[in-house]
Amino acid sequence: MAALRRLSEAVVNRIAAGEVVERPASAVKELVENSLDAGASRIEVTVRDGGQSLITVTDDGCGMTADDLTLAVERHATSKLADDDLSRILTFGFRGEALPSIAAVARLTIASCTRAADHGWSLSLEAGVAGPPTPAAIPPGTRVEVRDLFFATPARLKFLKSPPTELGHVRAVVERLAMAQPAVGFSLSDGKRSLLALPAEAGGGEAARLARLARVLGDEFAANTIAIAAEREGCRLSGHAGLPTLNRRTAAEQYLFVNGRPVRDRLLQGALRAAYQDVLAADRHPVAVLFLDLPADAVDVNVHPMKTEVRFRDAALVRGLLVSALRHGLAAAGHRASTTVAAAALAAARPEGGALAAAGGAGAGAARLPLSWPRPATSGASFRQLADAAVAYQAPLAPDAATAAPAADLPPLGLARAQLHGTFILSQTADGIVIVDQHAAHERLMHERFKAQIEGGGVASQALLIPEIVGLSEAAAALMASRAAELRGLGLVIERFGADAVVVREVPAILGETDLQGLIRDLAEDLAALGEGVSLRERLSAVCATMACHGSVRAGRALSVEEMNALLRQMEATPLSGQCSHGRPTYVELKRADIERLFGRR
Ligand code: ADP
Ligand code: MG
């Protein structure tokens, strides 16, 4: 081994830079955070070549004096830990590492001017070595210029992705910070074009925040989310969570801010999953932007040099708060389904490239839908459904109550006018029409009724006159038998019947007449997926969903006007009835104005 020695300041900084500055976006993050800490009201970011050749961040914050400048680029120099107290950090920065780290791997120039000074100062560093501050003409505020990032660390340079990819990361960083700071104006450009322009949102409060979120995430977000607000033991949760029908393939659009700081925390994803488990398929992810504000000493932000991870003093409290607030918000949203559903339907119906033009090439319209819902699992019942649907059925036209009643008196989901294809209920609302998928809607109602019965002490069961024998694989039969006691609690009484079958003696009363063979096979699959050691109670939702699916009105069944209206009224009264247990919508609402637009009347 070579002799033990102290590393030079330059090498130490370069090592720290490895943790703090992973890519251009991390430099941008540190610099923008510094601007926010400096109280800026406008922050302009420019990047060239994805940030590799040039990054500038200009703010109108408090600025620095010549002495500040010299100290700011020294390691562990910070103005943000006034009393050395790491337990109450209220600023983004506190480690005093960002500027020296960036300076160690790039060419850095900082120009700054305080409000009190009559001129500013500029300081340049190359590979960590500072020149003297020189007078500079600059308005109050600070401008940081980073050139040739990683020129001093060629290994890191090799890991950079293409400029557009790096630019994407920079953009994401700026957007993320901007979401929590609606009162600050942000802009991002590549030196030629403006890539992002977020004016400061006036007014403050919830309205300003939602306006900023809409600018960053799109109007679709603002129109399809539920406001979340809850408080528990000094922790305050606010923000917006998407309706279940506004779902995504990945969790990328789930944002959590802890005391204004964007953090990545698995806790959020887990809480969202728990809150949405009844209304979203397992492979779909809700959209959410949540702000958690808690006493500074209830959270440790000093976990990682990049400060994107935190530790909560009481993680269970935070998780409980998230899950209950989200559930509450979802239940309060009632039958609302997202407008994206209607937008998708309209996009498909529009003559250009929509269903009409695609009459020859089916599916062209569907391909343009912004959302895709997982297709329902086809069960053994589907053949029978097809057979049922094949029986021609002429829907009775509902009496013209809907047009007779004053529009304002119509209930939200309107009055049923017809059943189409034995599958859809068409209803007229005060200012449009609603098309309900009767199976999906009924399944949702069953699911909620199941849950209510279980929570109320037990599911009423009904004995079968003739017990039904269901053939299964030996493994599946054994599995079902091993869960018999738990299934009994859900109103389903089964026993093993020989090696490869079970006999069903009682079924939940609310299921009504149902395809038991299909139900038992699907349940066996659910149980297999569940694995040992997980109790049915923990996964009630999946089991309820399967039972509800089998107990509900199949597509293809004729409904009377009274039955249809009863279904609509129940939907209005049932929480979460805007989507089925898989996150597919149960109904689509088209406004009269939209329909008129389809026909070129507007
Ligand atoms: P930290 O933010 O952790 O304090 P930095 O290395 O990022 O560490 O910055 C060092 C110091 O430089 C800050 O504490 C602050 O006093 C000063 N500083 C950095 N950027 C700015 C800015 N944009 N405006 C005013 N002061 C700044
Ligand atoms: Mg900093």
| pLDDT tens-place string over residues 487-506 | 888 888 999 998 889 999 99
94 C-beta closer than 6 A to ligand 1: yes
Which of 88-92, 315-319, 383-387, 457-461 holds the top average pLDDT?
Answer: 315-319
Residues above pLDDT 70, as percent of the chain: 85
Q: In 3D, which of 116, 167, 125 has the Cα closest to residue 144?
A: 125
Pocket test for ligand 1, best of 99, 102, 108, 184 (most atoms within 8 A of CB): 99
Confidence band (pLDDT; 50, 70, 90) for 364? very low
Number of helical H runs and strand E runs in the chain: 21, 25
Please tell me the distance between residue 87's alpha carbon and the centre of ligand 1 in angstroms: 20
* pLDDT value at residue 29: 97
Q: What is the DSSP letter of 3?
A: P
Q: For the chain, give the number of residues.
A: 602
* pLDDT value at residue 549: 75
Helix axis angle, 266-276 relative to 315-332, nearest 10°?
40
* pLDDT value at residue 321: 93
Q: Tokens 């009409």, residue?
A: 356
Q: In what order do the strands lie in the sheet with 424-429?
A: 415-420, 424-429, 432-437, 587-591
Confidence band (pLDDT; 50, 70, 90) for 369? very low
Range 567-591 average pLDDT:
83
Pocket test for ligand 1, best of 34, 64, 69, 261 (most atoms within 8 A of CB): 34
Better pLDDT: 601 or 182: 182
Confidence band (pLDDT; 50, 70, 90) for 48? very high
Distance of CA 113 to the CA centre of its chain: 41
Q: What is the DSSP letter of 95?
A: S
Range 139-159 average pLDDT:
92
Please list, in sequence order, all residues whose beta carbon lies within 8 angstroms of the beta carbon of residue 336, skipping any fewer than 6 positions away.
243, 578
* H-state helical runs in 143-204: 154-158, 163-179
Distance of CA 139 to the CA centre of its chain: 41
35 C-beta closer than 6 A to ligand 1: yes
Q: Tokens 């050139």, residue?
A: 147
pLDDT at 204 over 90: no
Amino acid at 155: A
30 C-beta closer than 6 A to ligand 1: yes
34 C-beta closer than 6 A to ligand 1: yes
pLDDT at 532 over 70: no
Which of 55-69, 216-230, 359-373, 529-543 holds the top average pLDDT?
Answer: 55-69
Are 569 and 427 in contact by the 8 Å Cβ rule? The answer is: no
Q: What is the DSSP letter of 577?
A: T
142 C-beta closer than 6 A to ligand 1: yes
pLDDT at 72 over 70: yes
Confidence band (pLDDT; 50, 70, 90) for 378? very low
Residue 498: other Cβ atoms inside 10 A: 11
Confidence band (pLDDT; 50, 70, 90) for 585? confident
* pLDDT value at residue 382: 36
Arithmetic mean of pLDDT over the chain: 83
Task: Give the predicted TM-score (pTM) of the model.
Answer: 0.70
Tokens of 491: 């109103």
